Structure 1
């Protein structure tokens, strides 16, 4: 069972890397900005998830260290938000050059798979409550980066981050607050759910 799980993690990691590589090649062929490509939260979160999956695939479950458990938790929270935000705010938008299979992998398959991996193979030891706060650090840094870069370049990775699309800075703040609340709720739920599914300690 554990070997199958590790194999599944490896396959998922390679699949998402192939999807991102193909999408990057499409961008390069059309002279799109590499900086813009790597400014999408979806791309960054999927790359992070692939790294965590690779690390997990190389680590037997009984040898999982707290730092790896934390990375798995952070990845699960981020990918859950990727899936939810896409489904609620972005799925009706034109995804441009993104091929259908790439869109499916990045926005549907990976969010579901990473969350299930966290829930069905919970950390050997419970994470502290401060893990939820850590789950908010990277999204906060990403938001600051996106807004600062957007002010300088006029390009925003998502429509709800562009003040011109949402009625100014107040509209951006409203969307940001809503997504931040989503991070807190999802992060808290995943933390609580994993505690209830921890493997029993050996006798």
Structure 2
């Protein structure tokens, strides 16, 4: 099997698995007559769907021989940051909490398997274009916008997708602010590392003239 074929199969298999997992959990939401809006307000669900799209489009680009643009490389980097963050936050902050109706095998796929798969994809098939350092800042836009959305929506309807957004769960607005500062700093460090890995892996895989 050609190297490009391996990339295509890898990405399509994980995209299909993740889409199946999210669909299975969405079915539980419908069966339990839960809020669809709330389902799509979880960072995990949104990020896994994003990763599915990026993997699928990435496989198509490889199949067509389309070279990576700088914009596409930044999108990939942002997806890696989001998915790795999903894995870290869940396994460090949320693993011991009641996850409600979350299907066990879905939990493994979206919180453990897919974050690793996305990171491996980034390391094994790094961006073809050298990423600028400002790409790390761009990677923060999605999670920061999501956090603002969650805070505003939570204040309006009283639904908080994660406890660190809920003032009553973390000691008030000060507790939320502290959590957010820590999370943003952690995201910034993670984004910088992802860009660094992409830059170094690209250099190591570039053929010597």
* Fold shared per TM-score above 0.5: yes
**Moved >3 Å (runs of 4+):** none
Q: Equivalent of 2:107, from 103, 107, 112?
A: 103
Residue in 2 aligned with 1:162? 166
TM-score by length of 1: 0.97
Shifted more, 75-84 versus 64-73: the winner is 64-73
**Does the aligned pair in 1 maintain the 2:51–2:118 contact within 8 Å?**
yes
CA drift of 1:67 comes to 2.1
Identify the match of residue 147 of structure 1 among 115, 132, 151: 151
- The alignment partner of 1:125 has SS state of coil
Match runs of 1:23-102 below 5 Å: 23-60=25-62, 63-102=67-106
- In the alignment, structure 2 segments of 5+ residues that lack a partner are none
Q: Distance in 2 between matches of 1:187 and 1:122?
A: 15
Equivalence map 1:1-40=2 (5 Å): 1-40=3-42
Deviation at 1:160, TM superposition (A): 1.0
Q: Write out per-residue CA displacement over residues 179-203 of structure 1, whole angstroms, 9 at most, x where no aligned residue.
A: 1111111111111112111121463
Contact 2:68–2:129 at 8 Å: present in 1 too? no
Specify every segment of 5 or more residues in structure 1 that has no aligned partner in the other structure, as ranges: none
Aligned length: 203
Q: TM-score, normalised by structure 2?
A: 0.94
Task: State the match for 1:112 in structure 2.
Answer: 116
Shift of 1:66: 2.0
Question: What is the CA-CA distance between 1:80 and the residue it aligns to?
Answer: 0.8
How far is the alpha carbon of 1:64 from its aligned partner?
2.2
- Aligned residue for 1:137? 141
Query: Is 1:13–1:53's contact at 8 Å kept on the other side of the alignment?
Result: yes
Give the aligned CA root-mean-square deviation in angstroms: 1.2
